[in-house]
């Protein structure tokens, strides 16, 4: 590059940066920037990528996005963006963008073995309807499914969930968010009785201590990380601890880096609890008023199949542990049992049950977790001395316990993707609650999310197999009744049986229990562990897979029908981030070709089914619920008739284009001249995104989940609002009387969530008094023991294997790999390994190596330097790269309570290719 060109580029970059952060720039520079931006239209929007939820400004010109930048008015990111965020505008313009439906065809007809060929939307829906009817006819509502997303807009999630739960009466809708934060959800519900964090990102600027537990924030939550490092630089007493199984970018400014062995975070947290107890540091004022002690069974399995029917030979030894395990030394100590004892996993089916225990029981339970025991068990770097490691653990406990110190714990996938994910989340609340460091500015255990609307859509809308909007669940008759009322459905329309979670949908496709799957806004065939099984299952002749996506992902390629989707700025939408902030944006540009929003796709498909297709009697194998005949959903057509529905009314009319919704007119002044291709494609004059948002918001208003009116989010002075939004005011800290309108007057704290408050009494071994007591407004302090990972390195597979993300790529790379700059920055996933491990295997940096597990083998390039530092015996492989396909060899064990897959620990061997 010539010097003059380089200098020119520098001055342009500098001038636009200065303008963005509000530095006065010279008239000439200003004129240059103004000239360049002359015909641009700026509007506020939200970053497409991670759960941080940065605000961005989006510039359009002639129907194209020409620039994006960090929104200076957004409280989350204050004008900054990470490198992915910076390229938001470019993700729309990949060369291989899908612009028309594609179906596998031979001789002009659908053929499972055929090649993909372009079809019209009508042809696509015709075949889809036929296949849906075939699966539904044969297997009933349980035979069809939607694989949804934590990247759904609020409205997309809502229409998909309503179509399935209210229309089809099937609970087989589950998002990829199951892989991402289901453990966090289960722990929130069990501990507080309500989902989502009490604090918000401002905790960072209020705290003295940030502890990262299995969260590489520097790469995965870059803007929050920049807030943490800023806080550290401007507040010299701020301490930062990075607990991880390997050294990563977040260690760079950490005061303490603790490298531990997989699963021993369970032991480390109990060590801290034991220290709190022994140092007499329990905050009794807080605990007596606001908490109750609890525990549950230990023999809960590992979320694998309990039969080896589908296991390949190499998989059988691990699969067998689903039914019984032999306790190792450490587990025996940690669970107060004998080493070598065989424990049948009797509670695999009831892993979530729990009961109240006494403080004395709690003390007894944490007693074995001495510094000596825990340090020996958990030290993760063989090259570190045990004494050094002990000093670190003690320092960590000191900082936790120091009553002059505020402390925030942050975590993401390290805790959530964990065979005991719910437990390890609950342990974090255990220590924060024991110390009374929860739900106050700068004090709290804060679960971060990976996806942009894991909170706003997957969780709040309830696109899970067991959920309904606003934290309600299908298994609760009162919740069903309230939902049926709001949705204007006959009683007993909603199916009370929990549907299949995402891993089970895959297993059901393999088993033949589900024969139709519609993939929306995610890439499950690349993202689900042990992927070989599911790809084979998808290709089985009687399964029909539809994949809606803007790009040809692995999931699109294994599908039978691909539907081209509109991307974020090509539609109206809303996301909810990890601090309960709901943010909305307008359609900025039209989608290319025939690509259409996911809202349109569901609405259009729903027109093809009528009341009599779904609301007659339906078989539902395994259904057992009060008021329902076993194995059957009742006929509700007569009741529907009484409510004014005709058996021939289609689902579009019944569920979506209702009299109330069609009153919400399009065009609407809130659009300020922006378009809505969904309305145009429907040929309607109502505003689905607004009408359906308002309909959905009714579930939460007055029920601790209040959202503001739709239009408020579009006001120029609003950059998202943290729910509950009551009387126009957002709630910065929940459960805290100073900030949260739901805390009863005069109370300092109330953990007012309503779920699972009534529990029986017992001791460490089980329930002693089955009568339930309700612990209204209290949080639970759980004792949860250490448990060993189900698959560990052995002679044959001698290395730990962990998958995860890198800064430059988002998930499976569907979008970020289409941005040339990001792709070039990290073109392929490399296997990180300790140099000594490479040497002992006769391998060198940049060698191509095989990585083999019980589930198959893949190839990648070896890396022994760079941003991640592995301890000996441990390898890490990012999963974004479909060419390397990290999840093919990962184990599909899950937390038995949350059903979230543990992608962080299984055993592999590595050798030269």
**Which residue's Cβ lies closest to ligand SF4?**
85
Q: Taking CB under 8 A as the rule, does residue 25 contact another protein?
A: yes
Q: Tokens at residue 216, please?
A: 């590489």
CA distances from 34 to 7, 39, 79, 521, 755 (A): 19, 9, 19, 37, 55
The C-alpha atoms of residue 67 and residue 808 are separated, in whole angstroms, by 19
**557 near another protein, judged by CB under 8 A:** yes
Pick from 788, 801, 829: nearest CA to 908: 801
Residue 49 binds which entry of ligand SF4, another protein, none, CB below 5-8 Å type-dependent: ligand SF4
Is 77 a binding residue for ligand SF4 by CB under 6 A? The answer is yes
Q: For residues 416 and 853, which CB has a smaller minimum distance to ligand SF4 in the complex?
A: 416
52 binds, among another protein, ligand SF4, none (CB under 5 to 8 A by kind): ligand SF4
Name which position in 45, 49, 504, 813 contacts ligand SF4 (CB under 6 A): 49
Least CB distance from residue 553 to ligand SF4, whole Å? 19
CA nearest 50: which of 150, 185, 147?
A: 150
List, edge to edge, every strand of the sheet that includes 355-356.
Answer: 766-774, 758-763, 355-356, 291-295, 779-782
The yes-or-no answer on residue 576 being catalytic is no
Q: Is 869 helix (H, G, I), strand (E, B) or coil?
A: strand
- State how far the Cα of 558 lies from the Cα of 534, in Å rounded to an integer: 10
Alpha carbon 170 to chain centroid, angstroms: 22
Based on CB atoms, which residue is closest to ligand SF4, 17 or 491? Answer: 17
Residue 311 and residue 305 in contact, taking contact as beta carbons nearer than 8 Å: yes
Active site residue 526: no
Residues 62-101 touching another protein, rule: CB under 8 A, are 69-70, 79-83, 86
Within 858-877, the residues that bind another protein by CB under 8 A are 858-859, 861, 866-867
Residue 502: is it exposed, middle or buried by C-beta count within 10 angstroms (0-12/13-18/19+)? buried
β-strand partners of 410: 212, 446
CB 46 to ligand SF4: min, Å: 8
Nearest Cα to Cα of residue 620 among 611, 629, 608, 612: 629
How many Cβ atoms sit within 10 Å of the Cβ of residue 847? Answer: 18
Task: Collapse the DSSP code of 293 into the 3-class scheme (helix H, G, I; strand E, B; otherwise coil) and give the result.
Answer: strand
Of 43, 68, 79, 81, the residue at the interface with ligand SF4 (CB under 6 A) is 81
747 with 286: CB under 8 angstroms?
A: no
C-alpha distances out from residue 437 to 269, 421, 555, 658, 724, Å: 15, 22, 44, 47, 22
57 is catalytic: no
157 closest CA partner among 706, 814, 599:
599
User: Any contact of residue 52 with ligand SF4 (CB under 6 A)?
Assistant: yes
Q: Which of 15, 45, 50, 217 binds ligand SF4 (CB under 6 A)?
A: 50
Q: Considering CB distances under 5 to 8 angstroms, the limit depending on partner class, which of ligand SF4, another protein, none binds residue 866? A: another protein
131 binds ligand SF4 (CB under 6 A): no
If binding is defined by CB under 8 A, does position 27 make contact with another protein?
A: no
Identify the burial level of 83 via C-beta atoms within 10 angstroms of its C-beta, where 0-12 means exposed, 13-18 middle and 19 or more buried: middle
Report if residue 825 touches another protein, rule: CB under 8 A: yes
- We find the least distance from the C-beta atom of residue 710 to ligand SF4, in angstroms, to be 23
Shortest reach from residue 892's CB to ligand SF4, in Å: 27
Total interface residues for ligand SF4 by CB under 6 A: 13
CA distance 554 to 544: 15
Q: Which does 99 bind (CB under 5 to 8 A by kind): ligand SF4, another protein, none?
A: none
* Minimum distance of ligand SF4 from residue 477's CB (angstroms): 39
- Radius of gyration over alpha carbons of the chain, in Å? 27
One residue of 85, 214, 573, 591 binding ligand SF4 per CB under 6 A: 85
Give the residue with the Cβ less far from another protein, 79 or 214. Answer: 79
CA distances from 271 to 9, 268, 577, 716 (A): 55, 5, 32, 49
What are the structure tokens assigned to 371, written together?
């510094």
The torsion defined by the Cα of 428, 429, 432 and 436, in degrees rounded to 10, comes to -170
Q: Does 229 bind another protein (CB under 8 A)?
A: yes
- Segment 494 to 553, residues that bind another protein, using CB under 8 A: 535, 539
| Range in contact with ligand SF4 (rule: CB under 6 A) among 42-50, 143-151, 198-206, 361-369 | 42-50
Which CB atom, from 12 or from 364, has the smaller least distance to another protein?
12
Annotated catalytic residue, options 413, 547, 584, 906: 413
Is 180 in the active site? yes
**For residues 207 and 408, is the Cβ–Cβ distance under 8 A?**
yes
| 84/467 with CB nearer ligand SF4 | 84
Our finding on whether 226 is near another protein (CB under 8 A) is yes
Chain residues that interact with another protein, rule: CB under 8 A: 1, 6, 9-18, 20-25, 69-70, 79-83, 86, 113, 115, 226, 229-230, 233-234, 249, 252-253, 535, 539, 554, 557-558, 807-808, 820-822, 824-828, 846, 848, 858-859, 861, 866-867, 882-885, 888
Which residues are designated catalytic?
84, 180-181, 413, 450-451
């Amino acid at each position: 590059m010539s010097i003059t060109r380089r200098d020119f580029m520098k001055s342009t970059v500098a001038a636009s940066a200065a303008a963005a952060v509000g530095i006065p720039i010279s008239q000439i520079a200003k004129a240059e920037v103004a000239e360049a931006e002359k015909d641009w239209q700026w509007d506020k929007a939200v970053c497409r990528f991670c759960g941080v939820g940065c605000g961005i400004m989006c510039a359009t010109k002639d129907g194209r996005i020409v620039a994006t930048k960090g929104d200076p008015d957004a409280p989350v990111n204050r004008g900054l963006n990470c490198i992915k965020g910076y390229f938001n505008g470019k993700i729309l313009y990949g060369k291989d963008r899908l612009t028309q439906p594609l179906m596998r065809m031979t001789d002009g007809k659908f053929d499972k073995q055929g090649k993909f060929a372009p079809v019209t939307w009508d042809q696509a829906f015709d075949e889809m309807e036929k296949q849906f009817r075939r699966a539904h006819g044969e297997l009933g509502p349980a035979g069809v499914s939607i694989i949804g997303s934590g990247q759904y807009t609020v409205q997309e999630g809502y229409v998909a969930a309503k179509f399935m739960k209210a229309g089809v009466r099937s609970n087989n809708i589950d998002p990829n968010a199951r892989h991402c934060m289901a453990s966090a959800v289960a722990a929130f519900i069990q501990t507080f009785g309500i989902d989502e964090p009490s604090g918000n990102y401002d905790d960072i600027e209020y705290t003295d201590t940030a502890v990262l537990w299995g969260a590489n924030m520097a790469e995965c939550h870059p803007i929050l990380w920049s807030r943490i490092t800023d806080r550290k630089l401007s507040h010299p007493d701020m301490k930062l601890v990075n607990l991880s199984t390997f050294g990563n970018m977040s260690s760079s400014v950490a005061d303490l880096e603790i490298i531990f062995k997989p699963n021993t975070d369970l032991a480390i947290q109990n060590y801290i609890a034991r220290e709190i107890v022994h140092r007499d540091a329990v905050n009794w004022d807080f605990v007596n008023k606001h908490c109750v002690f609890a525990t549950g069974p230990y023999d809960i399995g590992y979320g694998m199949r309990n039969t080896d029917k589908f296991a390949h030979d190499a998989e059988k030894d691990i699969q067998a542990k689903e039914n019984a395990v032999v306790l190792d030394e450490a587990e025996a100590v940690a669970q107060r049992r004998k080493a070598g004892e065989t424990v049948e996993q009797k509670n695999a089916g009831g892993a979530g049950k729990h009961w109240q225990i006494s403080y004395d029981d709690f003390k007894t339970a944490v007693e074995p977790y001495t510094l000596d025991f825990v340090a020996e068990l958990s030290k993760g770097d063989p090259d570190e001395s045990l004494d050094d490691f002990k000093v670190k653990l003690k320092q960590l406990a000191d900082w936790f316990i120091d009553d002059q110190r505020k402390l925030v714990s942050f975590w993401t996938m390290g805790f959530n993707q964990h065979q005991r994910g719910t437990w390890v989340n609950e342990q974090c609340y255990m220590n924060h609650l024991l110390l009374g460091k929860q739900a106050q500015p700068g004090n709290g255990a804060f679960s971060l999310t990976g996806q942009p609307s894991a909170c706003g859509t997957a969780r709040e809308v309830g696109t899970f197999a067991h959920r309904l909007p606003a934290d309600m669940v299908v298994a609760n008759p009162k919740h069903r009744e309230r939902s049926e009322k709001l949705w204007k459905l006959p009683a007993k329309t909603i199916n009370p049986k929990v549907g299949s979670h995402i891993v089970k949908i895959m297993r059901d496709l393999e088993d033949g229990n589900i024969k139709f799957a519609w993939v929306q806004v995610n890439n499950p065939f690349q993202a689900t562990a042990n992927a070989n099984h599911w790809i084979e299952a998808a290709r089985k002749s009687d399964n029909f897979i539809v994949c809606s996506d803007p790009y040809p992902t692995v999931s699109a390629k294994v599908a039978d029908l691909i539907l081209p989707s509109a991307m974020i700025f090509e539609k109206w939408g809303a996301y909810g981030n990890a601090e309960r902030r709901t943010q909305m944006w307008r359609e900025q540009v039209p989608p290319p070709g025939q690509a259409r929003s996911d809202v349109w796709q569901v609405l259009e498909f729903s027109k093809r089914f009528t009341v009599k297709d779904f609301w007659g009697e339906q078989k539902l194998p395994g259904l057992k619920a009060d008021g329902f005949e076993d194995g059957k959903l009742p006929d509700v057509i007569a009741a529907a008739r009484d409510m004014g529905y005709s058996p021939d009314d289609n689902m579009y009319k019944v569920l979506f284009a209702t009299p109330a919704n069609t009153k919400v007119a399009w065009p609407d002044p809130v659009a300020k001249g922006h378009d809505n291709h969904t309305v145009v494609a429907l040929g309607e004059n109502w505003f689905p995104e607004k009408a359906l948002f308002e309909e959905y918001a009714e579930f939460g208003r007055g029920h601790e989940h209040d959202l503001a009116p739709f239009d408020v989010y579009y006001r120029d002075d609003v950059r998202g609002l943290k729910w509950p939004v009551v009387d126009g005011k957002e709630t910065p800290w929940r459960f805290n009387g100073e900030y949260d309108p739901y805390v009863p007057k005069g109370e300092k704290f109330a953990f007012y969530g309503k779920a699972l408050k009534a529990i029986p009494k017992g001791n460490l071994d089980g329930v002693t008094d089955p009568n339930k007591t309700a612990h209204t407004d209290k949080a639970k302090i759980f004792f949860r023991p250490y448990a060993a990972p189900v698959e560990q390195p052995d002679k044959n597979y001698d290395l730990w294997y962990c998958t995860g993300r890198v800064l430059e790529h988002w998930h499976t790379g569907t979008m970020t790999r289409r941005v040339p700059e990001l792709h070039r920055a990290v073109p392929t996933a490399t296997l990180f390994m300790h140099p000594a491990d490479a040497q002992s295997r006769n391998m060198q940096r940049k060698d191509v190596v095989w990585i083999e597990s019980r589930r198959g083998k893949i190839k990648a390039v070896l890396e022994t330097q760079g941003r991640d530092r592995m301890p000996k015996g441990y390898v890490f492989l990012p999963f974004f790269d479909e060419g390397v396909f990290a999840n093919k060899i990962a184990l599909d064990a899950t937390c038995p309570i949350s059903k979230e897959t543990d992608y962080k620990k299984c055993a592999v061997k590595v050798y030269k290719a």
